[in-house]
Amino acid sequence: MIDNAAVELSRLQFGLTAMYHFLFVPLTLGLSVLLGIMESVYVMTGRAIWRDMTQYWGLLFGINFAMGVATGITMEFQFGTNWAYYSHYVGDIFGVPLAIEGLMAFFLEASFIGLFFFGWNRMSEVGHLTVTWLVALGSNLSALWILVANGWMQNPVGAAFNFHSMRMEVTSFSDVLFNPVAQAKFVHTVSAGYVTGAIFVMAISAWFLLKGRNSEFAKRSMTVAASFGLASALSVVVLGDESGYTASQNQKMKVAAIEAMWETEAAPASFTIFGIPDLAARETHDAVKVPWMLGLIATRSVNQEVPGIKPLVAASENRIRSGMVAYGALEQARAHPGDADAKAILEAHVKDLGYGLLLKRYTDRVTDATPAQIEKAAWDTVPNVLPLFWSFRFMVGIGFFFIAFFAGAFWLSAKRQLDRYRWFLGLAVLSLPLPWISSELGWFVAENGRQPWTIDGVLPTFLSASSITAGNVWLSLGGFVLFYSALAVIELFLMVKYIRLGPEADAGGSPASLAPARAGE
């Protein structure tokens, strides 16, 4: 009944459309705050150049924002179209933050974005500044609710299985809301967005300076981006570490896979800085290790162990056996809702029900699974070690580069020498793609590392899909690839056009003007 090709294609489609969507989201998050800062300076000093900066970066913001909105609708719809069983099974919990996101955050952002562009001559300066900050607040709150939803997929707290309705139902909404994984992820993700906005402003301003144009405009923009970027880069790395710490508390397998740690090591565990993990051979070739480091990051202690993949697989095997009992009791309870024994057995083993469901990949009769099937299902709990191992290392490497880069930029801006070193400006231009690369790697680590689950330990990915045919998914996937590629070409064309035109593109501004904008100043 479940078409495996449809599952794999749906995964591909979700991954591609989500990563595409996230090309636009971080820039929206970062630039919206930068716009608020620039306009605040304008309102406080009255200098027209700060209004011109707000309007020009706002113009680029708008081009990007349209794509973020357009591709975001796809994400919301896809849970229903391609992951119908998931929607049924966890909609009671997962749907809530998505709906509140619309109600509390996206309404705010989308209602005021029109006034941001059309309200310059219709509102007071303070009024317009308020609008700009409300757009920034809306986009950041949006990220909060989306990450509450995503955090629950990684760490499904505050919910319990109900056999009558055959799904998970909420037991404590405050547990869902204050999920530590969600909180850590939120701050890590918005910080990454701020870094993206800062690098975007740095790179384009540096390009202006290299071309010898719009120098006053560019230097001021870089000054703002340098300090904002430094704070954000520090936050993204420090809170990334927080994210790793919370992951190690609840997703031990993800941490073990990212580290390619096959066996539990004596505490404190070493950190493998280089190696070629091999899932088939269950070992890492050519490993270079730094003693103690992993233990310190993951447990923040010198005597706690970080469990390895093989012992975790053995633990999964036990949970699968317990899940088989749960599944048998569930069948019994569904057929005879009055059967108190079945309900008691289900209750005792229900926390392992998800592990039992892993067997459905190999047999319809979960309760009769063979030891070989159980072993296979247990090894299914190991995600794809090699790409996780390397994606994580590149992401972290880029994160440390950002700290160094912004520290340099901050120092140069403090000495008012941002335009002095051409090599530094060149470096700024070349850094432009890095925040996008690291953000995409980060999402890959978070979501591929969650496999084989959509809801960690509760619902396997292959069971989450809709009962749709692979042919239909081929059609939609092909359609998305063509349509999104065309949109990407158009978006890049407009972005490049307006970057080349520069601040003069914004006909209402008087570029590089240092004169006070208000009479009497």
Determine contact, residues 475/82, Cβ cutoff 8 Å.
no
Q: Minimum distance between the CB of residue 337 and another protein, rounded to whole angstroms?
A: 10
Q: Is 156 left (phi over 0), alpha (psi -120 to 50) or beta?
A: beta
The residue with tokens 């950041």 is 140
Q: Does 103 bind another protein (CB under 8 A)?
A: yes
Which of 11, 302, 64 is CA-nearest to residue 201?
Answer: 64
In the complex with another protein, the residue whose CB is nearer, 214 or 243, is 214
In the complex with another protein, the residue whose CB is nearer, 166 or 288, is 166
For another protein, the binding residues in 311-340 under the rule CB under 8 A are 334
Distance of CA 185 to the CA centre of its chain: 8
Q: How many residues does the chain have?
A: 521
Q: Does 95 bind another protein (CB under 8 A)?
A: yes
Q: Does 180 bind another protein (CB under 8 A)?
A: no
Binder to another protein among 1, 280, 514, 519 (CB under 8 A)?
Answer: 1
For another protein, the binding residues in 232-271 under the rule CB under 8 A are none
Q: What does the alpha-carbon distance between residue 415 and residue 1 come to, in Å, rounded to a whole number?
A: 67
For another protein, the binding residues in 334-373 under the rule CB under 8 A are 334
In the complex with another protein, the residue whose CB is nearer, 85 or 292, is 85
Binder to another protein among 8, 16, 46, 91 (CB under 8 A)?
Answer: 91
Binder to another protein among 9, 113, 184, 325 (CB under 8 A)?
Answer: 113
Q: Minimum distance between the CB of residue 24 and another protein, rounded to whole angstroms?
A: 11
Q: Does 104 bind another protein (CB under 8 A)?
A: yes
Stretch of 85-93, 224-232, 265-273, 287-295 contacting another protein, by CB under 8 A: 85-93
Q: Does 41 bind another protein (CB under 8 A)?
A: no
Determine contact, residues 138/108, Cβ cutoff 8 Å.
yes
In the complex with another protein, the residue whose CB is nearer, 344 or 486, is 486
Binder to another protein among 3, 39, 52, 101 (CB under 8 A)?
Answer: 101
For another protein, the binding residues in 114-153 under the rule CB under 8 A are 114-115, 117-123
In the complex with another protein, the residue whose CB is nearer, 171 or 318, is 171
Q: What does the alpha-carbon distance between residue 343 and residue 164 come to, in Å, rounded to a whole number?
A: 11
Q: Does 497 bind another protein (CB under 8 A)?
A: yes
Q: Does 92 bind another protein (CB under 8 A)?
A: yes
| Separation in Å, CA 359 to CA 222, 352, 370 | 55, 12, 10
Q: What does the alpha-carbon distance between residue 311 and residue 352 come to, in Å, rounded to a whole number?
A: 17
Binder to another protein among 16, 18, 19, 66 (CB under 8 A)?
Answer: 66
One-letter amino acid for residue 139 of the chain: S
Q: Minimum distance between the CB of residue 273 and another protein, rounded to whole angstroms?
A: 43
Bridge partners for 453 per DSSP? 460
R_g over Cα of the chain: 25
Q: Does 16 bind another protein (CB under 8 A)?
A: no
For another protein, the binding residues in 458-487 under the rule CB under 8 A are 466-468, 472, 475-476, 479, 483, 487
Binder to another protein among 53, 96, 198, 203 (CB under 8 A)?
Answer: 96
> In what helix (H) or strand (E) does residue 278 lie, and over which residues does it extend?
strand 271-278
Q: Does 284 bind another protein (CB under 8 A)?
A: no
Q: What does the alpha-carbon distance between residue 491 and residue 337 come to, in Å, rounded to a whole number?
A: 56
| Separation in Å, CA 318 to CA 162, 199, 250, 315 | 23, 48, 18, 5
The answer to whether the Cα torsion of 440, 443, 445, 451 is positive or negative is negative
Distance of CA 148 to the CA centre of its chain: 11
